[in-house]
Amino acid sequence: MPNPILPLWEYIPDGEPRVFGDRVYLYGSHDRPACDGFCDFKLKVWSAPLDDLNHWQCHGDSFRTVDGERPSDVPWTDRELFAPDVVCKAGKYYLYAYIVASKGAVGVSERPEGPFRLLGPYEYDCPVGDEGTFNDAGVLVDDDGRVYVYYGFTESHMNEIDPASMRRILPGSYRRSVIADGASVPEEQRFYEASSPRKIGDTYYLIYSPCRGSRLAYATSDSPRGPYVYRGWIVDNGVDYPGGNNHGSICRIGEQWYVFYHRMTNNTIMSRRACVERIQILPDGTIPPVEMTSLGFEKALNPYALIPAEIACVLKGGCFVTERGIFERTVGNITDGCVIGYKYFDFGEDYTGDGIRVCLKVRGLGTKCRVRVLLDGYEGGQEAGIVDVGLSDGVYTAKLAPITGVHSLFLKAEHGVTGWTERYFAGKPLFELEALTFVK
């Protein structure tokens, strides 16, 4: 399954991946297309078999703050649900839900997919942070059975939870700052939100969003109580793409580690969709940064399949993915100089020496233009050919030189107008891209 990893109509940001049994579960917020706000009043759960990451199943709404097909699960608020986490303890699954401007909620289920029934708000008569909202709570059940919750918005907090109740905060456990969050800390390191704890070997990791919010950063410690020391960043959703906040975590599936994160659509910082990239954890505990790709769980994209334009991992110059309906999304606002990119296609071997044809399915906008097809870079890459695009909806094609092996692919739009009228075409949308493929 390429990025985004869920069906393209689904918007699950803030993903917390958890492996329970023979499946990986994705717990996250639920965004709405073309919405002017983050998240929703319900949470949804998706999962996939560990040995078949191309087939994700939706388990429906797992928890709600407003009445719907089921009544609300929370009596004290009707605000939006953000960024949950789920952990397993003694055969039960515990949901930790952040609710905007409200007391945080804890739920429980006998099944990892839920639905979760309310246990109640966090219980405490001792110091906690966030005035009890427990913003973006991430929970760690340690090997010795002790339970820790990490949370905060611009301030990094931690408390220990009583494992007998899974919601009572233990007196004397409060700590701040778990990750450096002071004004003197560089923005690429300074804690902002999105705490997600993991333990790998004997090392404790906190994945989080720093003040450079398009990144996911990580810090490590030899104790669950910290302090956690910044080690670097993992992925940045604002590199050659319309970025926004970022929130996610890391997960080992089989022998491969992944970082789960999200990307924006609809030319907003909302309507975010779940993506993954392969990562490495080196012997010294560091995680080298990775680029955004279109791959998801795939090792390479098939250029001979029908490729939705919206799986682009590079959108430069103002173009963006926009939704017209559940079956229809395009890359729009394509103006002169815009770049749409995909990483990576495997064209395979071909010993004939014959060329290959690229086919672009477009929505015409009444303007003649051209699209340069570039391999391995949108600046300085090899030009494989040029597609002339006409006024109307249709499929426009061009014969390219032979292409074999693995390449990134970039489509660069140009209006092609020169002379005194050129300025009238600056900023003019040229077409919308629906899909592409390659044929021989």
Please give the positions annotated as active site: 14, 193
Which letter, b or e, does each residue of 351-373 get, where b requires 16 or more Cβ atoms within 10 Å of its Cβ?
A: eeeeebebbbbbebbebebbbbb
- CB-based contact 412:336 (threshold 8 Å): no
Report the alpha-carbon distance of residue 64 to residue 147 in Å, rounded.
25
Question: Both tokens of residue 91?
Answer: 């055969």
- CB-based contact 310:320 (threshold 8 Å): no
- Work out whether strand 394-400 and strand 356-364 pair parallel, antiparallel, or are unpaired: antiparallel
Which letter, b or e, does each residue of 393-415 get, where b requires 16 or more Cβ atoms within 10 Å of its Cβ?
A: eeebbbebeebeeebbbbbbbbb
Report the alpha-carbon distance of residue 30 to residue 261 in Å, rounded.
14
Centre a 10 Å sphere on the Cβ of residue 296 and count the other Cβ atoms it contains. 22
Question: Both tokens of residue 191?
Answer: 């804690």
- CB-based contact 32:101 (threshold 8 Å): no
Q: Which residues pair with 196 in a beta bridge?
A: 207
C-alpha closest to that of 159 among 96, 84, 203, 225 = 225
Question: Both tokens of residue 32?
Answer: 């709405």
Q: Which residues pair with 157 in a beta bridge?
A: 151, 176
